[in-house]
Structure 1
């Protein structure tokens, strides 16, 4: 009989990625306060001592996962904002990308936007910082389009409008979780009618008589 080949030792970056992936699922499903490091270690298939080698506390792990997923979201959506084609086409693609992110990575969307840890001041502060960095990043990506419609991307109101866009789209994504039968394409076109055409340019309602 041949000898059993030795197990390949997982490198530290790969092990860290396994831990953060497991933590994302557990945090999103049970919330920060309902989650223990033991549960995350079990979900990742590692000993708690191994988890502590990478993350000294549950708070540190949560913040690392939030920052990781926020960067993924900005990259995911940003490539559509700065893509080729006219502004209307890129806006449609950007909206579709956000809904695609929400559809394929629901745990990440919940962790970034559904707050279950607001009583922890440190997490609240970091969460706010992540939110502001996301808004600033998207504002920078939209700078050219903003200038084309007469909006200075360096004015505070520009970030306020981007915040309106982000939170509005996430509100639709939350509604979609409650109404999963709605086709994604229908949501995209509905959002486009409001965000691109605008309420002020909607066709007049029909009247009787």
Structure 2
């Protein structure tokens, strides 16, 4: 007998995490249709049969990854929105948190916001549902601040305002990918000047 102990078998949650990390990387880079489960299994370092133990189809895997990354984003940014301090500092912290997420997890940002090549109607429906749930979550987190400016969180305009913030910040994140030398702090200050102070507010 050799001196090497038998390899311990990887637990299911760890294998699942390897698979979803590999799927995020490949889906974000190539899109849903150009990605194969074989590629994902190879990237994750697992047998294709192991992948099927966790995810019975490519569609199920994509939807699971999208839900997982959206939850991570909402939790990451939401902690700053709901933090302590005056509203202006929480806004600054929230903006910085989104740019920090985009910087640390560019593949997640691309998968959640950029990928629109889904011919599958179920994927389109789920993607839209994820977007709407994200908007509602941010509206709920901003509820107190919205009331201070005369907007009730239940009003349709509240969701429209949050969509403006989310898509605006993501537009800046996309610009940042093309101009990576820009310091994050400068982006935060620029976004604060627009979102908090307003271009026409000189007071």
- TM-score, reference length from structure 2: 0.97
Unaligned runs of 5+ in 2: none
Aligned residue number for residue 119 of structure 2: 119
Aligned residue number for residue 26 of structure 2: 26
User: Aligned partners of 1:156, 1:13: CA distance in 2, in Å?
Assistant: 40
User: Aligned partners of 1:113, 1:202: CA distance in 2, in Å?
Assistant: 33
User: Aligned partners of 2:189, 2:162: CA distance in 1, in Å?
Assistant: 19
Is 1:28–1:108's contact at 8 Å kept on the other side of the alignment? yes
Q: Does 1:68 align with 2:65?
A: no
User: Aligned partners of 2:48, 2:2: CA distance in 1, in Å?
Assistant: 33
Is 1:18–1:44's contact at 8 Å kept on the other side of the alignment? yes
Is 2:77–2:98's contact at 8 Å kept on the other side of the alignment? yes
User: Aligned partners of 1:184, 1:18: CA distance in 2, in Å?
Assistant: 30
**Deviation of 1:2 (Å):** 4.8
**Deviation of 1:202 (Å):** 3.9
Q: Write the mapping of 1:153-172 to structure 2, written as runs, cut at 5 A.
A: 153-172=153-172
- TM-score, reference length from structure 1: 0.94
Q: Write the mapping of 1:38-53 to structure 2, written as runs, cut at 5 A.
A: 38-53=38-53
Aligned length: 203
113-122 or 87-96, which moves further after superposition?
A: 113-122
Higher gyration radius (CA): 1
SS in 1 for 2:8: coil
SS in 2 for 1:201: coil
SS in 2 for 1:56: coil
User: Aligned partners of 1:123, 1:34: CA distance in 2, in Å?
Assistant: 15
User: Aligned partners of 2:117, 2:159: CA distance in 1, in Å?
Assistant: 25
Aligned residue number for residue 181 of structure 2: 181
SS in 1 for 2:200: helix
Is 1:117–1:124's contact at 8 Å kept on the other side of the alignment? no
